[in-house]
Chains A and B, each alone.
Chain A
Amino acid sequence: MDIPSSLAIISLAALVHASFQLSVSVLTLLSGHSIGAKHSQARLLRLTSSFLLGAAAMTVLLLSFISLMLIQLYGNITPQVVWAAACGLSVAVAVCIWLFYYRHDKGTALWIPKAIAVYLNDRTKATKRSAEAFGLGLSSVIGELLFIIAPLLISALVLIQLPSVWQLTGIAIYTVISLLSLLIVWVLIGSGHSLGKIQQWRESNKYFLQFVSGAGLIVLVVFVYTVEIVGSSVGFH
């Protein structure tokens, strides 16, 4: 696969990752607790920036870890069966997203293990320092691992085929794009927008976001399957 196509796949996978909402929910709650506790705007920005850095760090770590595991297992040439398995897993995740992503109640509660939701809720309330917010950012990415595993796996499979410099570029592109939704909310909160309006928008559009996440993943799978499996079967490479 050529470099532009690889980077396009990584970008699309990162966009799918960006459409997942757990970190955005945690960021919204964290900001709400911080503003409600009459913390200064500077402290609010410190906390939210640390959260963002935590989420970025965990995304880089996860993507690097999965890539390293794949390199250790298969080297630079991934067997087609692994591509097929990754595509199958991604389709399953996409179907799960369409069926279960949001709980069928009011609000934006997600279909993640209750213990994780309670833990994140409690930690968000207890977070007072930047280091804690950083840790919360790390945990929130882990909390949605069930869903982000699909775009991460496909990106890792694409990344390991690239030359070293482009691998780093790919990781950077994935991280920045996957944080886009968090960055947008961070800018909105930092510029004084009401959390109520942000949360209202998220709730009103939650089923649209759910559909887009699943559909994005399906499009990604179709593209990857066509290039990597169908393409190589007909001698495209």
Chain B
Amino acid sequence: MTLSVDVIKRGGQRQSEQFMREKLHTSIVATCLSVRVPTGQAESIAHSVCEAVIAWLQQHPEVTSQDIRIIATKHLRIQHPEAAYLYEQNRITI
């Protein structure tokens, strides 16, 4: 599903792109799997986080990728705090 929301990339160096649910879903599943969550549960968590992010995006036609990460982390924290921690850490590990 593609919403008509422009996502401004990190640092504003790359072109903005349309929000892609699949991309967010894949990243949440990958993070959940990294903390050894079973695949089915990871898919279910990713589904519910994507729904929450999409609901938030309905009121925001233009956001940054960092905004999406913050909102996704907030909802992921409710479902799986450890996965949320790792998701948040992804860009600040190195």
Contact = CB atoms under 8 A, between A and B. Distances in A.
B94 A22 contact: yes
Contacts of A25: 93-94
A192 B94 contact: no
Nearest to B85: A196
A31 B91 CA distance: 15
Given A196-B83, A197-B82, A199-B85, A106 B92 contact: yes
Contact of A195 (B34, B88, B91): B34
Contacts of A35: 33-34, 36
Interface stretch (A71-79, A107-115, A208-216): A107-115
B29 interface: yes
Given A109-B94, A120-B94, A194-B82, A36 B89 contact: no
Given A36-B33, A37-B30, A109 B92 contact: yes
B85 A200 contact: yes
Interface in B57-94: 82-83, 85-86, 88-94
Contacts, number: 68
A45 interface: no
A22 B94 CA distance: 7
Contacts of A109: 92-94
B94 A195 contact: no
Contacts of A28: 93
B65 to A, nearest CB: 14
A36 B92 contact: no
If over half of A's interface residues share one DSSP class (helix, strand or loop), that class is named, otherwise mixed; here it is: helix
- Residue from A22, A36, A199, A200 having most chain B Cβ neighbours under 10 A: A36
Nearest to A36: B30
B29 A36 contact: yes
B35 interface: yes
Interface string A1-40: 0000000000000000000001001101101110111100
Interface string B11-37: 000000000000000000111011110
A169 interface: no
Contacts of A200: 82, 85
Given A36-B29, A38-B33, A196-B35, A29 B85 contact: no
14 contacts: A31-B34, A37-B30, A38-B39, A105-B92, A107-B89, A107-B91, A108-B94, A110-B94, A121-B91, A192-B36, A196-B34, A196-B35, A197-B82, A199-B93
Given A32-B30, A109-B92, A121-B91, 5 more contacts: A28-B93, A29-B94, A109-B93, A199-B85, A200-B82
